Homo-oligomer: A and B are copies of this chain.
């Protein structure tokens, strides 16, 4: 154990033992340095670790304070996944979830919808209005097959933040990230072939795998570090896998992020087995700390990584602006995009390009990153307050979804029915697996915790859980 880790542990214990209480100012860096006889930078490292663990918060020009959520739920357990390729189903459940979101009476904890009410999104809307008035014919005509040049230019620029060096010509605009994922899968694999993915994993990907006649081989994930490298290695050894599909950064539904070393290891494995990685980076820009984590794509020198993303989580999903940087599969994926929907809608592309170019995106990100972090802490407090003791929850470092493990007697589909009857929807865990796992898990959206309805919704979820356990 390193010096700063030992120091962090010491401080952490004092916080947990109540020596320092919520909101207390913690000792200054200088004080601790003298007290423990360690360097300033060691203390700084220790505090950074405490921040990561959610125990301390930095306040600019003031110092460190004890975070409010010192009664943090434990992390969810690692899934015991049966490692064999499975056909996916559950479309009925997905459809049910989508259709239930049409009622305005429901508080949607179920859907991964970002905060669309942020004041920093207003410029995007006014840009759109302005563009409608301004661009005339261009907005009505087909755009280029690979998408509006302005947008590809801006996306290439932004990708630098994730460690990439993309040129605009390496990017194809799609109808949301779902189209990017879907055309990538269909380009890479033929019916009957096997795709490796996280368990739990995004149900949109699972459904795409099913509808394309492919099979999903689920790899268990650690709630903090994501896909188990050992299990991945084993899977690649044992099965003729065609591609790795992964959301390595602020994964949906768990929120975990693969450490850089795991990302590089995954790329090395993909190289060894000569298969592509389809990297879903849709939440990547929503990192609570700066700089955001690197994409696997950023280490890719062979064009092996197909990077998929969109504006749906970072800006607004109704725009349906997504993109794919397909590496060596550029031509094939361009063809698949053409036959799938030709070009994408012109106007939203131009609006997103202008929003980024004028600095609106950067401002928006700064705002929502801070907000989502705060929201996560608030939501974790509510989980601790309203759900029974023993409930576990993930602790994402970015994004806006939480993965919650309930008592194993709870069937989350049933819980959802009870909650919906009271105007609250949650996403049942078994949507996120091809097998029938995660029946006692739920995914919760915390993008909107400032809305007072959300706290009440969590109270309702808690009451319904209590009833089911009674």
C-alpha spacing A138/B121, complex, angstroms: 13
**Assuming A318-B345, A320-B344, A347-B348, is B113 touching A137 (CB within 8 A)?**
no
* Contacting pair A341 B175 (CB below 8 A): yes
List, in ascending order, chain B residues with CB within 8 A of A91's CB: 335, 338
* Contacting pair A208 B339 (CB below 8 A): yes
List, in ascending order, chain B residues with CB within 8 A of A320's CB: 175, 341-346
Chain B minimum-CB-distance residue to A318: B346
Partner of A179, one of B138, B143, B190, B340: B340
* Contacting pair B141 A125 (CB below 8 A): no
Cβ-based interface call for A123 (8 A): no
List, in ascending order, chain B residues with CB within 8 A of A144's CB: 98-99, 102
Chain B proximity of A345: nearest CB distance (Å):
4
List, in ascending order, chain B residues with CB within 8 A of A341's CB: 174-176, 178-179, 182, 320, 340-341
List, in ascending order, chain B residues with CB within 8 A of A347's CB: 128, 318, 347-348
Query: Which residues of chain A (302-343) have a CB below 8 Å from chain B?
Result: 315-320, 334-336, 338-343
* Contacting pair A132 B125 (CB below 8 A): yes
The number of times this chain is found in the oligomer is 2
Query: Which residues of chain A (127-155) have a CB below 8 Å from chain B?
Result: 128-129, 132-133, 136-145
Chain B minimum-CB-distance residue to A132: B129
Chain B proximity of A107: nearest CB distance (Å):
15
Cβ-based interface call for A360 (8 A): no
Cβ-based interface call for A116 (8 A): yes
C-alpha spacing A348/B341, complex, angstroms: 15
Which of A94, A190, A335 has most chain B Cβ within 10 Å?
A335
Cβ-based interface call for A423 (8 A): no
Query: Which residues of chain A (331-370) have a CB below 8 Å from chain B?
Result: 334-336, 338-348
* Contacting pair A139 B318 (CB below 8 A): yes
Chain B minimum-CB-distance residue to A315: B140
List, in ascending order, chain B residues with CB within 8 A of A319's CB: 140, 345-346
Chain B minimum-CB-distance residue to A211: B339
Cβ-based interface call for A295 (8 A): no
C-alpha spacing A101/B176, complex, angstroms: 25
**Assuming A116-B137, A191-B191, A347-B128, is B182 touching A340 (CB within 8 A)?**
yes
List, in ascending order, chain B residues with CB within 8 A of A68's CB: none
Chain B proximity of A235: nearest CB distance (Å):
23
* Contacting pair B102 A318 (CB below 8 A): no
**Assuming A125-B132, A339-B211, A342-B204, is B318 touching A141 (CB within 8 A)?**
yes
Partner of A113, one of B94, B101, B128, B141: B141
List, in ascending order, chain B residues with CB within 8 A of A317's CB: 140-142, 342
List, in ascending order, chain B residues with CB within 8 A of A343's CB: 318, 320
Cβ-based interface call for A207 (8 A): yes
Interface residues as binary, A59-71 with B (CB distance below 8 Å gives 1, 0 otherwise): 0000000000000
Interface residues as binary, A198-214 with B (CB distance below 8 Å gives 1, 0 otherwise): 00000010011011110
C-alpha spacing A174/B121, complex, angstroms: 26
Additional pairs, 15, CB under 8 Å, beyond known A91-B335, A102-B144, A124-B140: A116-B141, A129-B133, A140-B318, A175-B341, A179-B341, A182-B339, A204-B338, A207-B338, A319-B346, A320-B342, A320-B344, A340-B341, A345-B345, A345-B348, A347-B347
